[in-house]
Amino acid sequence: MTLKTEPFVVNVGPQHPSTHGVFRLRLTLDGEKIIDADMVMGYLHRSMEKLAEERTYTQNIPFTDRTDYLAAMTGNLAYVIAVENLAGVEPPERAQWLRTIMSELQRFASHSMAIGIFANDCGAWQTPVMHMFRDREKILDLFEMACGARLTTNYMRIGGVSRDIPPEFMPTATKLLKDLPKRLDEYENLLLENEIIVARSRGVGVLTAEQAMAHSVSGPMLRASGVAWDIRKADPYAAYDKLDFDIAVGTHGDVYDRFVVRVAEMRQSLHILEQALEMMPEGPVNAMQPTATVQPAWSAPTGPLAIRPPEGEAYARIESPRGELGFYLISDGGPAPFRFHIRSPSFINLTPLALMTVGSTVADAIVILGSVDIVVGEVDR
């Protein structure tokens, strides 16, 4: 016998760590079944896009740490590439390899958080996430060696990176790369066939390839729907064109596939890092050394290398852990960008959330949101 109930509205969240206290789902329910879903994005807005138009190009780099603060290295990188495109700057070879190494370490660290918290959403409280925090901390140790910071790294620079890695970095990173494959094996044995995770995630929150592309979804969400699109392959940057790696794809586009794709990407990151550590050349790490000849794109209102790109516009994109992260800049020839805009994957990947949740249950909504892997600093800039 089917009972008919009157629809009622329930506020769900914030229950996921990345939602803080500013993102919630407003669900219209018929019993436990979701018949409508609205996203309340919240008010984390810090006006960084507008503030960036009042600061010099170099002063804006720390803003990019604080958008996706679980992947500051990749946030830095997308922005500085956009400025380099505007100004016609080519980073030296060693800097390109260092950028690649930091980006892949950041991807592994970010996916560790995504998978650990996803397991929490499925009901596996504490154990998986603490295991993954353990490995993430070792990567943050490497970041601290390289630049003195662990979370908001501010490491990338226009023309390269802020400094070369210290002597202890390479042996520590090499040792870590020998340990992490065993850790991934442990995660897979613990989680991939775990009956609770399988029951909570298989066939839930399905997003077809056509739906994903129609909503401009990118990153692991898009690849889980069976679309083999990765900017590292499609539009290479840094040293990715010199590296061998595979694109991890799913088949069903459900919550489980998004989880599996992230695990597979972690293994590919280790493969990339092994190659990069072996192939990285010696040499300078920044094209804009104090002793270098000042290029036509620079002038000196605030220092010998204050940047004044010529008038024009540029868009640069990279494959961040969450998808296509892009920066669109317009220069009017001054020391600050005339326009500064971020194409953030967390914001765009949320657009099909209602599509994925309507027709499912409240319990399903929790794991569906967790499978998107958002960071609210990137949602509301």
Dump pLDDT digits (tens) for 357-372. Answer: 999 999 999 999 999 9
Q: Is the pLDDT of residue 14 over 80?
A: no
Average per-residue pLDDT for the chain: 91
What is residue 288's predicted lDDT score, i.e. its pLDDT?
74
- What's the mean pLDDT in 135-146? 96
What is residue 291's predicted lDDT score, i.e. its pLDDT?
37
Choose between 45 and 166: higher pLDDT.
166
What is residue 12's predicted lDDT score, i.e. its pLDDT?
85
Q: Is the pLDDT of residue 69 over 80?
A: yes
Contact of 379 with 347, CB cutoff 8 Å:
yes
Q: Is the pLDDT of residue 156 over 50?
A: yes
- What's the mean pLDDT in 184-197? 91
Task: Match 């064109």 to its residue by tokens.
Answer: 241
Counting beta carbons within 10 angstroms of the beta carbon of residue 216, is it exposed (0 to 12), middle (13 to 18) or buried (19 or more)?
Answer: middle
What is residue 304's predicted lDDT score, i.e. its pLDDT?
42
Residue 226 and residue 138: Cα distance in Å, rounded? 32
What is residue 2's predicted lDDT score, i.e. its pLDDT?
67
Q: Is the pLDDT of residue 78 over 50?
A: yes
- Return the biggest CA–CA distance within the chain: 82
- What's the mean pLDDT in 191-198? 91
**Residue 169 neighbours by CB distance under 10 Å:** 18
What is residue 120's predicted lDDT score, i.e. its pLDDT?
87
Contact of 369 with 61, CB cutoff 8 Å:
no
Write the CATH number of the domain with boundaries 48-379: 1.10.645.10
What is residue 144's predicted lDDT score, i.e. its pLDDT?
97
What is residue 1's predicted lDDT score, i.e. its pLDDT?
61
- Which has the minimum average pLDDT: 147-161, 293-307, 367-381? 293-307
Percentage of residues of the chain with pLDDT beyond 70: 94
**Domain locations in the chain as residue ranges:** 48-379
Contact of 214 with 159, CB cutoff 8 Å:
no
User: Of 153, 159, 94, whose CA–CA distance to 307 is shortest?
Assistant: 159
Query: For residue range 42-55, what is the model confidence (pLDDT) as tens digits?
Result: 777 778 999 999 99
Query: For residue range 232-250, what is the model confidence (pLDDT) as tens digits?
Result: 999 999 999 999 999 999 9
Query: For residue range 285-338, what is the model confidence (pLDDT) as tens digits?
Result: 999 754 333 444 444 344 445 789 999 999 999 999 999 999 999 999 999 999
